[in-house]
Chains A and B, each alone.
Chain A
Amino acid sequence: MLVLIALHFVVALSAPFAARAFGRRVLLLGAAVSGVTFAWLLLRTGDVLNGEVLSEQLVWVGDIGLKLSVRLDGFGLMMALLVSGIGVLVFLYATAYMPREKNGRFCGYLIAFAGSMLGLVLSNNLLGLFVFWELTTITSYLLIGWEDTLESARSAAWRALIVTGAGGLAMLAGFILIGQAAGTYELSAITEAPPGGVAVAVGVGLVLLGAFTKSAQFPFQGWLPDAMAAPTPVSAYLHSATMVKAGIVLLARFAAPFSDLDFWQPVVIGIGLTTMLIGGVRALQQTDLKRLLAFGTVSQLGFMTTLFGVGTSEAIAAGVAVIFAHSLFKAGLFMVAGAVDHEAGTRDLRELTGLRHRMPVTFWVATICAASMAAIPPLLGFLSKELAYDELLHSGDWGIVALAGIIAGSAITLAYSVRFVWGAFWDKTPSGAPSAARVPEPTAAHEPGLGLLGPPALLAALSLLFGLWPEPAAALTGAAAEALDQVAEVHLTLWNGLTLPLVLSLVTIALGVGLIALARTSILGGREFEPRFAPDAGYRVFVDGLGVSARYVSAAVQNGSLPVYLGVILVTAVALPSAALLSTDGLGIDTSRAGSGIQIAVCALVIVAALGTTLARRRFVAVMLLGAVGYGIGTLFIIQGGPDLALTQFVVETVGVIGFMLVLRHLPQEFVRRRHRPTKVLRAAVAIIVGVFVTLFALVAFTARGAVPISDYFIENAESLGGGKNIVNVIVVDFRGLDTLGEISVVTVAVLGIVSLVFAVRRGRGGDPDAPVTELARDDVAEPAPSEAP
């Protein structure tokens, strides 16, 4: 399994190169990868349906439980089959749909997305799951923003990234809370023995937040319809079986172990039902076929969320069946919408008319898929919805609440399903009202080719097939439900006899028909509806506010003055430790350590020279006095017992002064004088504060040696381990050799910096640009970076 996931990413990386050779057919490569995955999964299906569980793992950071572990249980199998199976169809569809140019990158993104999604549904480690989750966020960002010349696509991609990315962060925090409480990050172990406590409850809440953003639940639903800016194959993939199902997958995995938390049922059911109703109503108001489907997806996701919100074994079983049915019909519907768009040049239902005559096969494919969505027998959608009704009747009080909401939502679903088929294919007068009297000229279009029609037709056929012959679907979804909850069973049957669920199904259909009859001009009409309260307002306010506040903060904090920055850093560096210094009592300052007269004399010399260098007006004087300070320090080193240091210090000081001289001879002799008294006073004040603090700190630190110093170890072992008697040298080159290695690297970098700075000057002033060494200064010159060929 890990190999299959890795294969996706390898192929994704190579796709842009393959595109040069294959052109648009590179997308078939994606179909091949998904196909291999699908075939591999099919070979394992028998074992998994018999209850076997395949797992693999790759330990990454074992200490914190960071493993890449994948597990193929029933639910994982079903989701992976959907991801790879619909993946194959989407890639085939895209081969016919996408324009001929720049398919390499597109193909790469789409394969990477498929790989991330596969990893997400198979992942058994919460941290690994999070990584794949974020990968789907990033790859979907790239896919949604594919038409990067369109402002709408860019902002839609941003929005998806911000909303789902923020949710992902909340989810990571939730995962960590849960994982720490459980002592493991393995999903299977957590679901077997769910941890409890307040922290876990908070963690589950955060995970729910992540799932809601990803699956476009209220109030985060806005990004999903916007994401319709993506090319249709992407929409068909992201919004049927994959991206938006990620949140549902998580809900499904968490429903069995955590649905007995107090807040689970009211919160998840409440949000699910709200989303279902809002999505349905908004779908009825759309004139763009893809947006209509997008809001329909929001509504259906609300439906699934509600089922997992109820959280009983029965509801979970129904939820799994609905996931399966939805993936089939929604992918088909998006593909049909894309085919209509591709052939007719528009997907505005006010402009489309009479296409059922021009595209009869497409029309029937769309009708079957839409009927499955509307839960019309004998299609798979009907079976799954009836199962949901049946199971909710046995799921306690919350089940009944959910049932009532779902019946209402399903009636709306029926209405917008009709609106979709009517809008895309029916005869209309341009004003929008259906007219029997005058059949207008149908929109110019003809039946799409096999590439655009084959995949949705296959999906429609499957919806029909599994409706009439539900055993395979029942076996698969049954195994999936059992993996989530051991006692869950799926009974998918077309005819159960005259039962209450059947009556409810009929009631739903009747309600839907009644709704259409009541609001005929709205539902079967092209009036565009502008919501009075824009649901996007929250997002807009948030993003704008972020921009404005970032401006104020950076204007205040980053004012561009180096002295101000340094001053703030220094004052902070002094203030924090001195607060600690003052708050501890009993600082024993031992002033008894005697010093020789020569030490005191050298110290005095150092202070005087330092004062001189600070006040000097001429550069050379300042540097000479700085040298004097250095020699003084070197003398102090000798007195302290460090001959190596003293030697180094003396030579460094000498070479350093020469280096100063070499540079300063180019500069004017005197410093520019500044006569701005307030800043001078402020500087002096900061300087004095720092000086006083450091003096106190030194006094305390000198006598604060409490623990046994590690030097004793060095002293004892220098000769035996390091092979040398000079302990300082042994420490430098052996005991702390790694430090020294880092240090000499810094020195080397400094030399390279000097080289490039000096040559940059040469070049900037028109020196010989072809001089061989100027390579080093290349980055310093404003040259356009060589753009990478796509």
Chain B
Amino acid sequence: MILVLALTIGALFSLGTYLVLQRNLTRVIIGLALLTHGANLLLLGVGGKAGEPPVSGIDPSTMSDPLPQAMVLTAIVISFSVTMFLLALAYRSWTLNRSDEVEDDVEDRRIAREPVRDAEDRL
């Protein structure tokens, strides 16, 4: 099982990375979602063996660790809201530019290409 879980996490991270490195904003968002899933699973897996739901009154030795669960719980909601924010960003990019591709930063490219100006001009 541990091997299967690790492989699943690895696959989620790998595919998420592949998507995040693309220029299409929708794919980047999907990639981030995959990365989040992987991270959540990892957190939970690090918490130890599977067990009973952590509710007071049952034997702690059969209980699964509550702390990673609490962390994952908040992580799920955070990543959900961030994903939605990114979607709004993609929507805005589309309505303004008719494109949801992430282009290179124009200003950065310009600075990188431009010849060195006299430093004193900048003072």
Contacts and interface: CB of A to CB of B under 8 A. Distances in A.
A660 interface: yes
Contacts of A656: 33, 80, 83-84
Interface stretch (A266-274, A323-331, A746-754): A746-754
What bracket does the count of chain B residues touching chain A fall in? 35 or more
Contacts of A747: 77-78, 81
B10 A695 contact: yes
A548 B106 contact: no
A595 interface: yes
Interface in B1-15: 1-15
A contact face: mostly helix, strand, loop, or mixed: helix
A306 B84 CA distance: 68
B38 to A, nearest CB: 7
A629 B23 contact: no
Given A626-B33, A715-B56, A731-B67, A672 B81 contact: no
Contacts of B111: 551, 554-555, 558
A599 interface: yes
Interface of A: 154-155, 158, 543-544, 546-548, 551, 554-556, 558-563, 566-567, 570, 590-591, 593-596, 599-600, 603, 606-607, 610-611, 613-614, 619, 622-623, 626, 629-630, 633, 636-637, 639-645, 648-649, 652, 655-656, 659-660, 663-664, 666-667, 671-672, 674, 683-684, 686-688, 690-692, 694-696, 698-699, 701-703, 705, 709-712, 714-716, 718-719, 724-728, 731-732, 736, 739-740, 743, 746-747, 750-751, 753-754, 757-758, 760-761, 764-765
A555, A705, A724 — which one has the most chain B CB atoms within 10 A of its CB? A555
Contact of B63 (A633, A715, A746): A715
Given A547-B119, A593-B2, A558 B108 contact: yes
Given A599-B5, A701-B45, 10 more contacts: A606-B12, A626-B34, A640-B44, A652-B80, A667-B94, A694-B14, A702-B5, A725-B57, A728-B54, A765-B96
Contacts of B49: 593
Contacts of B27: 622, 671
A649 B123 CA distance: 54
Contacts of A715: 54, 56, 60, 63, 66
A603 B5 contact: yes
A611 to B, nearest CB: 6
A600 B5 CA distance: 8
Contacts of B13: 690-691, 694
B85 A643 contact: no
A748 to B, nearest CB: 9
A701 B69 contact: no
Nearest to A700: B6
A38 to B, nearest CB: 38
A702 B40 CA distance: 13
Nearest to A744: B77
Contact of B26 (A622, A674, A695, A732): A622
B66 A714 contact: yes
B10 to A, nearest CB: 3
A630 B35 CA distance: 11
Contacts of A556: 112
A101 to B, nearest CB: 26
| Smallest CB-CB A-B distances: 5 pairs | A595-B1, A691-B14, A547-B119, A695-B10, A560-B108
B52 A641 contact: yes
B91 A659 contact: no
B73 A591 contact: no
Contacts of B66: 711, 714-715, 718, 727-728, 731
Contact of A663 (B18, B72, B88, B119): B88
Interface string B40-73: 1110111111111111110010011111011011
A607 B54 contact: no
A482 B14 CA distance: 73
Contacts of A639: 50
A551 B116 contact: yes
B9, B13, B51, B66 — which one has the most chain A CB atoms within 10 A of its CB? B66
Given A633-B37, A667-B100, A683 B54 contact: no
A728 B10 contact: no
Contacts of A551: 111, 116
Contacts of B73: 644-645, 648, 728, 732
Contacts of B112: 554-556, 558-560
Contacts of B55: 725-727
Interface in B81-123: 81-85, 87-92, 94-96, 100-102, 104-109, 111-112, 116, 118-120, 122-123
Contacts of A603: 4-5, 7-8
B36 to A, nearest CB: 9
A595 B2 contact: yes
B12 A743 contact: no
Nearest to B95: A761
A630 B90 contact: no
A642 B34 contact: no
Nearest to B43: A701
A737 to B, nearest CB: 11
A758 B91 contact: yes
Contact of B11 (A607, A619, A644, A666): A607
Nearest to B20: A566
Nearest to A652: B80
A740 B33 CA distance: 21
B81 A751 contact: yes
B53 A694 contact: no
Given A659-B84, A705-B48, A727-B66, A687 B42 contact: no
A221 B82 CA distance: 54
22 contacts: A154-B123, A599-B5, A607-B12, A611-B11, A614-B18, A630-B33, A630-B37, A633-B41, A645-B76, A652-B80, A655-B80, A687-B14, A691-B11, A696-B6, A698-B9, A711-B66, A747-B81, A750-B81, A757-B85, A761-B91, A761-B92, A765-B96
A694 B56 contact: no
Contacts of B9: 694-695, 698
A506 B22 CA distance: 84
Given A563-B21, A591-B3, A691 B80 contact: no
B104 to A, nearest CB: 4
B22 to A, nearest CB: 7
A664 B33 CA distance: 16
A649 B65 CA distance: 18
A757 B76 contact: no
B2 A590 contact: yes
Contact of B6 (A614, A643, A699, A728): A699
Contacts of B18: 614, 683-684, 686-687
Contacts of A711: 47, 65-67
A780 B45 CA distance: 42
B31 to A, nearest CB: 8
Nearest to B44: A640
Contacts of B6: 695-696, 698-699, 702
B56 A725 contact: yes
A636 B14 contact: no
A728 B82 contact: no
A691 B10 contact: yes
Given A642-B72, A709-B67, A754 B4 contact: no
B19, B44, B54, B88 — which one has the most chain A CB atoms within 10 A of its CB? B54
A727 B54 contact: yes
Contacts of A765: 95-96
Contacts of B15: 610-611, 613-614, 687, 691
A563 B54 contact: no
A158, A591, A663, A712 — which one has the most chain B CB atoms within 10 A of its CB? A663
A788 B54 CA distance: 58
Given A648-B76, A691-B13, A702 B46 contact: yes
Contact of B2 (A591, A596, A664): A591
Contacts of A709: 48, 65, 67
